[in-house]
Chain A
């Protein structure tokens, strides 16, 4: 449970700021309010820990939903509201411009210590197109659309292309699903689990540029009804893929689209 809270709060120091704000509310601010407010506050916090934010509840709720998504329950903790409330209240308590300026200075210093946050070079960069889909992906989709032999062709891509391709052309079917992709991202190729062998063959070629045994790739393409493989130009696999029986049908700036026509279709 503690690990979930830690990874939820991140490294920025907002977690610490939240704890301090809570203590301020409990220790000072609540003294001024009616006792009913303090009682409800303490009951909510107490019941929250007893009924929800503990290892047992986490396991039980994990049975219903998914334990990996338990962090979503932490959304009910009003971190932003608590910090903002205490900050504004502190400003209200401090008298005079000088005092407020010092407090503002402390706030700026604290923010500076937290690093860039979301405001950094990468996040301030304007994406190339309005749809935010790279030209490479658009060209690949067009090539597939023009050359497909069935309405919903099965295609294999590297990860970056795969995630965007169906936003551009929803008739395309992924050859490798999310689970196998994630499996190999997590455990690597040729791992002990020996799961998804066909998917592993495809990913080795399209995502890593590894030349596997030609017979194996041919068998995979047939077994999984894969019609198109999209491979990075930088992998220089043209000759190898042609020998497997794949024909280049078009290319974008960084990728070549190969088509595999099954013998029985010819």
Chain B
């Protein structure tokens, strides 16, 4: 029971932290973000910043304890900063305009919340255990147990001879290790309940935002869109679909790639399609691309492929070379990771353990 309460508490903590990161990030980028947008974009600010601390420590073969201490200090500072900015913003406004949504909207929001809660529950009770599960859960368990990062193979428990950059370039699982160490929550519980539930919430946040973009904020249609998306997910069955990852493997980085990173890129491209000159959205797209590999190594090629094809099409149709140029700039982080990864596969960039 205590473990369950801890997990629920951690989900709430993460929601607050992500929103604070998103709020502060949006404020710095002069982008007016709604609550849902702040929550979603916060994930990308969070992992982009986490990577700044995690990656050097991983490459320098440092301990998890050091990363935990550093990251705790950073998150605390960001939270304090976000609340100061929020307080100042609220104070600046002469009179706060609080108004309750109308009856119809309340029904719509409740209907949407119902879908999200059902998926949170349904995902939480799944018990998929495959080779990947063994690998990822093993990686976090080994990290917490040995206080080392990627020096011991998480899957089989044997010491590595070189740092496995195929996995070590992404800090996603080290973030879980940090919080397992801090809270004492069992790795399996943390991944399956905390990270899995967050994946579901973030997925439906992006579905909501895409619905808003497509139907120009009509709440009834957005509710219909979210319900239909939920239903289609329940029937999109094969070993490889995004729905399979959302429902059975929600705690994996791959699921975050399929259900959070890629749909967020899609949403931003949709917004940019409507207004190509919106600099704030271009900046956000850059942050999303920057955080895509830290969230999942699967995004190393998928995200730039998706972005490249779309910006090329937009620049051809709009006869605007700047669009392509901005798109290329957004792809730079992934290209850097790709070069490092290729050098690793060619045995040029190898870090001996």
Q: Chain A interface (Cβ within 8 Å of chain B)? A: 7-14, 17, 36-37, 39-40, 43-44, 47-48, 51-52, 61, 64-65, 69, 71-76, 78-81, 83-85, 87-88, 91-92, 111, 114-115, 117-119, 123-127, 130-133, 152, 160, 162-164, 166-167, 170-174, 177-178, 182
Contact = CB atoms under 8 A, between A and B. Distances in A.
B232 A164 contact: no
A166 to B, nearest CB: 4
Contacts of A52: 305, 309
Given A8-B241, A48-B309, A178-B156, A78 B266 contact: yes
Interface residues of B, number: 79
A166 B221 contact: no
Interface stretch (B9-17, B29-37, B312-320): B312-320
Interface stretch (B45-53, B75-83, B121-129): B121-129
Given A117-B237, A130-B4, A130-B189, A72 B258 contact: yes
Interface of A is mostly: helix
Contacts of B226: 84
B85 to A, nearest CB: 33
Contacts of A36: 317-318
Given A36-B317, A72-B298, A88-B221, A10 B237 contact: yes
A76 B137 CA distance: 27
B330 interface: no
B273 interface: yes
Given A76-B305, A84-B225, A40 B236 contact: no
Contacts of A178: 131, 134-135, 155-156
B130 interface: yes
B236 A79 contact: yes
Interface stretch (B91-99, B140-148, B277-285): B140-148
B335 to A, nearest CB: 12
Given A17-B232, A51-B308, A119-B122, 16 more contacts: A7-B240, A9-B241, A14-B237, A47-B309, A72-B302, A79-B236, A81-B266, A117-B234, A118-B235, A123-B126, A131-B3, A132-B129, A152-B157, A167-B133, A167-B188, A177-B156
Given A12-B237, A84-B232, A173-B156, A167 B138 contact: yes
Contacts of B248: 118
A210 to B, nearest CB: 23
Interface string B321-350: 000000000000000001000100100000
B240 A127 contact: no
Contact of B221 (A13, A79, A92, A164): A92
A247 B314 CA distance: 70
Contacts, number: 206
B65 to A, nearest CB: 16
B313 A43 contact: yes
14 contacts: A10-B237, A43-B312, A72-B258, A79-B241, A81-B229, A84-B225, A118-B122, A132-B129, A132-B192, A163-B130, A163-B134, A164-B129, A170-B157, A178-B131
Contacts of B221: 88, 92
A85 B225 contact: yes
Contacts of A69: 298
A51 B304 CA distance: 12
Contacts of A9: 238, 241
Nearest to B239: A7
B141 A170 contact: yes
Contacts of B232: 14, 17, 79-80, 83-84
A40 B228 contact: no
A11 B234 CA distance: 13
B243 A171 contact: no
Contacts of A126: 125
A84 B258 contact: no
A43 B316 contact: yes
Contact of B3 (A73, A114, A125, A130): A130
Give the one of B3, B186, B232, B233 with max A CB within 10 A: B232
Interface in B142-172: 142, 144-146, 154-158
Contacts of A88: 211, 215, 221, 224-225, 228
Contacts of A83: 228, 232
